[in-house]
Amino acid sequence: MTPSSEIAQVLFAAVQQFRHYGATHPAARQAGRQFHRSIEALGVRRAVDIEVTDRTLMVQSVPLTLQDPQAAQLRAHLAARRVQRLTIEREAGEEAVVTLIRLLALEPEELIAEGGLADALQSAGVSGITAESPEAAGAPRPSAEGENVFATAVRVLHEISSAVEHGSPADVPRARLAVEGLVATLDMARPQLWGDLANRSHDELDPQHGANTCLLTLFVAQALGLDAQHLTDVGVAALLHDIGLAVLPWEQRMAERTVRGPLSQWRHPAEGAFVLRHLGGRESLPMIVAAEHHLPALKDPSVLPQARLVALADYTDALSCGRVPAMRHASLGGLLSELLSGGGPAFDAVHVRVLASLVADAAASGVEFSSAP
């Protein structure tokens, strides 16, 4: 193991100890002290420098392979907490390092509520440790010039799925950035986003399906009063709900289309949960939703509310899309009318009513949804 890999491993292990035991437990503090000692033991001359990039985790300017579970998990953990760069001076005291790890062990919204890691470190009186957020570093959003946020979500999901298909981990932080772009524009770009949803000429195996499922989920969740942080959480889960399909042979993907089921023996929910298994704490929501998103249609009552919402959005988009109208099971409005009248799977009644109302409002405002034959 290289020194850079060991730094990532020991730091992530210390953070996990704090998350598991709590900040005051002796085992957690011992893990923090161990990381502090490792800085000297590994021959760090001036500082430990960790950077989250669009593609990898850099430690001491060395890119770590995301095939390494600790590197992948640490990168996802830092990115979720809006940490792009972390510098720990060799002279930073043990208490400063322990405080850093305690702060990193917070849930993302808790740390962000404190103003981010940089402000939290300053408020705690920590010296010798600095942190930069993507905003402070001037990092670009994951979109091409002139590309709208919906197109970005489609592109990002396509690239993540392609990487998973070839054996790479799912780049959840990148998915999160794409969803944050959608959340930020839900109100100001609402007509354009509904226009993107109105185009039904995609297949449910296309990345547009994941982006549509995400956007439908976000619209309903926003109407239900979720804040931006929780919107992003459920949006990421929705965007990646079918990531398990990427590891299946194409013939199996075709067999596991929503219009043909769902069936309890389908593999992609479990495969998706396995792909996302390294996420922890509240960040494990994508893993859970991937595993559960077909269970409401299978009449399983033990499903998270977020998974129920994603399940409805998934079903609604999948059965109302198709590259040609003849392939579509139903129109979007017709499908929701059927669900409102008690037909089809028994989704959450409130979710169905809210989604039906949103679609009706969009249609009344002039959005023309492609209709089924």
For the chain, the domains span 3-132, 149-364
| Average pLDDT score over residue span 133-142 | 56
In this structure, which CATH number among 3.40.50.300, 1.10.3210.10, 3.90.1260.10, 1.10.1750.10 belongs to the domain 149-364?
1.10.3210.10
The 8-class DSSP code of residue 283 comes to G
Decide: helix, strand or coil at residue 2: coil
Check pLDDT > 80 for residue 137: no
| Average pLDDT score over residue span 49-56 | 84
Check pLDDT > 50 for residue 373: no
pLDDT given at position 141: 45
pLDDT given at position 144: 43
Whole-structure pTM over 0.75, yes or no? no
Residues near 309 by beta carbon (within 8 Å), at least 6 away in sequence: 217, 220, 221, 234, 238, 348, 351
Residue 15's nearest CA partner among 94, 107, 89 is 107
CB 61 within 8 A of CB 1: no
| Average pLDDT score over residue span 268-275 | 94
CB 222 within 8 A of CB 172: no
Please report where in the chains the tokens 């208490």 appear, as a residue: 95
Residue 50's nearest CA partner among 105, 1, 8 is 8
| Average pLDDT score over residue span 25-48 | 82
pLDDT given at position 51: 92
The 8-class DSSP code of residue 321 comes to -
CA 139 – CA 131 distance, rounded (Å): 14
| Average pLDDT score over residue span 204-228 | 95
Please report where in the chains the tokens 């792909």 appear, as a residue: 275
User: Across the chain, what does the average pLDDT equal?
Assistant: 86
Token pair of 94 as six digits: 């043990």
Please report where in the chains the tokens 């992003």 appear, as a residue: 232
Tens of pLDDT, residue by residue over 4-28, are 888 898 999 899 888 888 888 888 8
Tens of pLDDT, residue by residue over 81-120, are 889 899 999 888 889 999 999 999 988 878 877 888 999 9
- What are the C-alpha distances in Å from 175 to residues 10, 160, 172, 346? 26, 8, 5, 29
Greater confidence (239 vs 370) lies with 239
Q: How confident is the model at residue 126 (pLDDT cuts 50, 70, 90)?
A: very high
Q: How confident is the model at residue 31 (pLDDT cuts 50, 70, 90)?
A: confident
